[in-house]
Amino acid sequence: MDASLDGRVIAIAGAAGGLGPTVVRRLSGAGSTLCLCGRERAKLEDLATEAGAHADVDVVDLLDPEAARGWAAALAERHGRIDALVHLVGGWRGGTPIEEAPLEDWGFLADLLVQTVQHATQAFAPHLLESGRGRFVIVSSGQAQAPTHTNAAYAAAKAASEAWTLALAHRFKGTGATANVVVVGAIVAPEMRAEDPDKDFSTFTPAEEIAEAIAYLCSDAAASMNGQRLTLRGAV
């Protein structure tokens, strides 16, 4: 067992999506207590069972700030501490030329990718500060720094969620807590490789590498890394 996360209480938001299961498997082997949230209980429970994880499962809609605060308070009550929040809530809209892009996409993505980060950080920051070694991690896209025009709304939302996270890192400065961004390309999870073994995923970022980066950022080995973008995109 990798003991570097032994005893930590790690919350994972959006745990049952494309990336979440790989992260859950990685962290569940590291001695931490995992607290999984999403909007569908059955998916989260199946994931916890499959990963053999010592995990809580909570249904939480992070678009609701009170639900986010309630989740953080419940975890702190249950476990006496919260050491990390890994934010994996995701979704995508785009694909049309910028002059035709429906601006409703911006509203949808700003809610999903920015507001859920804002609600989660406001709910969890006091607990992460109290931990003494609190960690906050988001997974962002290369689009935030180098947008393509058919992804304008997505890129703008990811850029805003990065800026919010870097501002949180400024709040955490000198406290022992950290906030960082893992920047990736399109993600390939083991389930995707199994479903389509002949597909060329060579330009994708492997979910296993992202999970490793998250495990590192949550550990004491990354105690001095705060307000950074850790980029896993190959030579781009």
Ligand X SMILES: NC(=O)c1ccc[n+]([C@@H]2O[C@H](COP(=O)([O-])OP(=O)(O)OC[C@H]3O[C@@H](n4cnc5c(N)ncnc54)[C@H](OP(=O)(O)O)[C@@H]3O)[C@@H](O)[C@H]2O)c1
User: Residue numbers of the site for ligand X (CB under 6 A)?
Assistant: 14, 16-20, 38-40, 43, 60-63, 88-91, 112, 116, 139, 141, 184, 186-187
Token pair belonging to 141? 């896209």
Looking at the Cβ atoms of 17 and 134, the one nearer to ligand X is 17
**Minimum distance from residue 139 beta carbon to ligand X (Å):** 3
Looking at the Cβ atoms of 110 and 133, the one nearer to ligand X is 110
Looking at the Cβ atoms of 60 and 230, the one nearer to ligand X is 60
Q: Helix or strand or coil: residue 185?
A: coil
Is residue 29 within 8 A of residue 3, CB to CB? The reply is no
Element (H, E) at 26: helix 20-28
Q: How many Å apart are CA 218 and CA 105, to the nearest integer? A: 32
**Minimum distance from residue 140 beta carbon to ligand X (Å):** 6
**Minimum distance from residue 79 beta carbon to ligand X (Å):** 20
Q: How many Å apart are CA 234 and CA 236, to the nearest integer? A: 6
**Minimum distance from residue 70 beta carbon to ligand X (Å):** 13
**Minimum distance from residue 211 beta carbon to ligand X (Å):** 11
Backbone angles phi, psi at 137, to 5 degrees: -135, 135
Looking at the Cβ atoms of 20 and 134, the one nearer to ligand X is 20
Which pairing describes strands 9-13 and 229-232: parallel, antiparallel, or unpaired?
A: unpaired
Looking at the Cβ atoms of 163 and 174, the one nearer to ligand X is 163
Per-residue burial over 53-75, b = 16 or more CB atoms within 10 Å of its CB, e = otherwise: bebbbbebebeeeebbbebbeeb
